[in-house]
């Protein structure tokens, strides 16, 4: 399977393109939501409204990212799995998913959850900022996979 | 002939040399470029999908555009600046690269599409701004815009495999 993916020249660039397109959907949606949670950005849209509108796209894109990413890993296993940039990227991805589920899980149960008190408001803003920084770092780490050498056994 | 000389002087300039020969400058500039592009494409997609009547249907087109377009333009500026720096680092090679040329062509088409939408199709926008249905011309504009920006990303990725 691995050699097949590598040998058919158009597979890896095409799968990477799909990967990047999904990153576009995730990054733009999350940037708008996170900035709104930090008090910046589109005032006319409420956070719950944006979450309802954007998150289905985000989660669907995440599934496609995992699928396309898996094809890329199968195609070039050592380049991915033993690469420090890739390992960092995956670690940060797990963190940002946890942060996102924390922020949005609470909103799902109680729309005003993060507005209820000053500590909660601060916590939400901080988590939104961390989410944004992690996502940016994930994009960088993804690009740097190509420039870092994989660990050799 | 003058063009090839220009490219040579660009890539041999201090900036061009620095980016090309440094181990970290090109990857870093390129990463910012990728980040900027995904924000441009994703933001434009929000407006395009609204024009197509696929999403954000209870938001007026003009209001959505007013909120989203500043992000598009800001990200685009970053993409253009980083793109120019990347180009300068190896001008001659990029100029003759087919995917690179196609990428620029698609961007020009996207721009033209946007211009036509703003000058012509938008004239009647008061009539359909808040309705979920949009005129065919608006749907075409949204669909073409999505297509062009998807191609920009695809050709952009192909540069790396053909340069």
Q: Which residue would you say has higher pLDDT here, A9 or A55?
A: A55
- In sequence order, the 6+-apart residues with CB closer than 8 A to the CB of B67 are A41, A42, A44, A45
pLDDT of residue A42: 66
Kindly determine whether residue A27 and residue B46, on different chains, have CB atoms separated by under 8 Å.
no
- In sequence order, the 6+-apart residues with CB closer than 8 A to the CB of B54 are none
Residue bearing tokens 């050498």? A149
Residue B100 · residue B84 · CB < 8 Å: no
Greatest mean pLDDT among A33-42, A76-85, A110-119, B150-159 lies in B150-159
Residue B110 · residue B152 · CB < 8 Å: yes
Cα–Cα dist B98/B94, whole Å: 8
Kindly determine whether residue A53 and residue B56, on different chains, have CB atoms separated by under 8 Å.
yes
Residue B81 near chain A (CB below 8 Å): no
Residue of A8, A10, A25, A28 to mutate, interface with B, max B Cβ within 10 Å: A28
Query: Average model confidence (pLDDT) for chain B?
Result: 93
Residue B31 near chain A (CB below 8 Å): yes
Residue bearing tokens 């690009």? A143
Residue A84 · residue A78 · CB < 8 Å: no
Q: How confident is the model at residue A74 (pLDDT cuts 50, 70, 90)?
A: very high
Percent of chain B exceeding pLDDT 90 equals 77
Cα–Cα dist B137/B116, whole Å: 10
Cα–Cα dist B110/B102, whole Å: 12
pLDDT of residue A1: 78
Cα–Cα dist B1/A145, whole Å: 38
CB atoms within 10 A of CB A94: 10
The closest alpha carbon to A29, from A92, A85, A100, belongs to: A100
pTM (2 d.p.): 0.93
pLDDT of residue A153: 61
Kindly determine whether residue A27 and residue B161, on different chains, have CB atoms separated by under 8 Å.
no
CB atoms within 10 A of CB B140: 17
Percent of chain A exceeding pLDDT 90 equals 69
């Amino acid at each position: 399977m691995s050699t097949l993916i590598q040998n058919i020249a158009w597979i890896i660039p095409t799968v990477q393109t799909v990967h990047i397109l999904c990153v576009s959907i995730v990054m733009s949606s999350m940037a708008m939501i996170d900035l709104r949670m930090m008090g910046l950005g589109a005032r006319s849209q409420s956070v719950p409204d944006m979450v309802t509108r954007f998150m289905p796209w985000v989660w669907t894109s995440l599934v496609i990212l995992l699928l396309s990413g898996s094809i890329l890993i199968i195609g070039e296993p050592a380049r991915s799995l033993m690469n420090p940039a890739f390992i960092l990227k995956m670690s940060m991805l797990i963190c940002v998913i946890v942060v996102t589920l924390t922020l949005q899980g609470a909103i799902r149960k109680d729309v005003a959850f993060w507005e209820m008190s000053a500590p909660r408001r601060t916590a939400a803003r901080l988590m939104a900022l961390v989410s944004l920084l992690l996502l940016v770092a994930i994009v960088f780490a993804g690009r740097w996979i190509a420039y870092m050498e994989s660990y050799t056994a | 002939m003058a063009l090839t000389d220009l490219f040579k002087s660009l890539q041999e300039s201090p900036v061009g040399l620095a980016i090309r020969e440094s181990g970290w400058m090109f990857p870093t500039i390129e990463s910012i470029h990728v980040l900027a592009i995904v924000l441009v494409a994703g933001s434009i997609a929000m407006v395009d999908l609204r024009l197509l009547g696929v999403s954000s249907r209870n938001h007026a087109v003009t209001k959505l555009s007013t909120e989203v377009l500043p992000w598009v333009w800001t990200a685009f500026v970053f993409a253009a600046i980083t793109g120019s720096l990347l180009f300068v680092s190896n001008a001659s090679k990029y100029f003759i690269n087919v995917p690179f040329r196609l990428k620029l062509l698609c961007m020009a088409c996207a721009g033209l599409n946007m211009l036509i939408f703003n000058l012509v199709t938008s004239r009647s926008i008061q009539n359909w701004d808040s309705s979920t249905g949009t005129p065919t011309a608006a749907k075409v504009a949204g669909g073409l815009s999505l297509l062009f920006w998807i191609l920009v990303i695809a050709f952009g990725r192909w540069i790396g495999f053909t340069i």
